[in-house]
């Protein structure tokens, strides 16, 4: 699972509400986000972005009020802080697919966390290989992923034929 910072992001939804005072954008209804080979779908996505005008100057002095420098998602100048996705999350990146109830992407730590509600599971598949648990944490910079159990054990189903070095026996 990865995102490409150098590729454009396309977002579609049934409805968009931008709340500049709260520095949020709320996408609802059939939300679909595409960036490169990664596609995410959910029922609802809330984007939290930083207010550029509120950042203090490097020398500690307060910056002069400049309304045109305020961050806005509508102008494309928003510095995104975090993204929350809810109402069934479906994520596809290359050969990997993940499903969950909710997701949280923290831009500062480059961490994406998928969680499952009570009684449900987070399911990650890579081709025929399937991993099941309750919380999947992906560290985007390193590619490291952690899958936590639902109080029991993490379940994994591996298909030996899916390995690139698998040799056919005659």
Q: Tell whether the model's pLDDT for residue 30 goes beyond 90.
A: yes
**Which pLDDT score, from 0 to 100, does residue 78 have?**
63
pLDDT band at 66 (very low <50, low <70, confident <90, very high): very low
Residue 76 has pLDDT above 70, yes or no: no
- How is the chain split among helix, strand and coil, in percent rounded to 5? 5, 50, 45
Q: Which of 92, 100, 111, 35 is nearest to 12 (CA)?
A: 35
Q: Is it the case that residue 128 has pLDDT exceeding 60?
A: yes
Please give the residue that has the higher pLDDT: either 143 or 153: 153
pLDDT category at 12 given cuts 50, 70, 90 is: very high
- pLDDT tens per residue across span 83-116: 999 999 999 988 899 999 999 999 889 899 999 9
Tokens of 168: 């056919």
Threshold 0.85, pTM exceeds: no
**CA angle, residues 138, 123, 44, in degrees to nearest 5:** 75
The mean pLDDT of the chain is 82
What is the per-residue pLDDT for 4?
60
């Amino acid at each position: 699972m990865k995102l490409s910072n150098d590729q454009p992001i396309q977002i579609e939804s049934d409805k968009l509400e931008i709340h500049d005072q709260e520095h949020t954008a709320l996408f609802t209804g059939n939300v679909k986000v595409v960036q490169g080979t990664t596609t995410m779908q959910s029922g609802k996505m809330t984007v939290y972005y930083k207010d550029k005008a509120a950042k203090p100057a490097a020398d500690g002095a307060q910056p002069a009020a400049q309304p045109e420098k305020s961050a806005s998602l509508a102008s494309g100048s928003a510095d995104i802080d975090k993204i929350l996705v809810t109402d069934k999350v479906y994520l596809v990146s290359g050969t990997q697919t993940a499903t969950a109830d909710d997701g949280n992407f923290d831009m500062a730590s480059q961490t994406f966390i998928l969680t499952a509600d009570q009684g449900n599971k987070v399911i990650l598949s890579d081709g025929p290989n399937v991993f099941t648990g309750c919380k999947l944490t992906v560290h985007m910079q390193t590619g490291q992923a952690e899958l936590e159990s639902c109080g029991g054990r993490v379940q994994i189903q591996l298909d030996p034929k899916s390995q690139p070095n698998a040799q056919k026996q005659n």
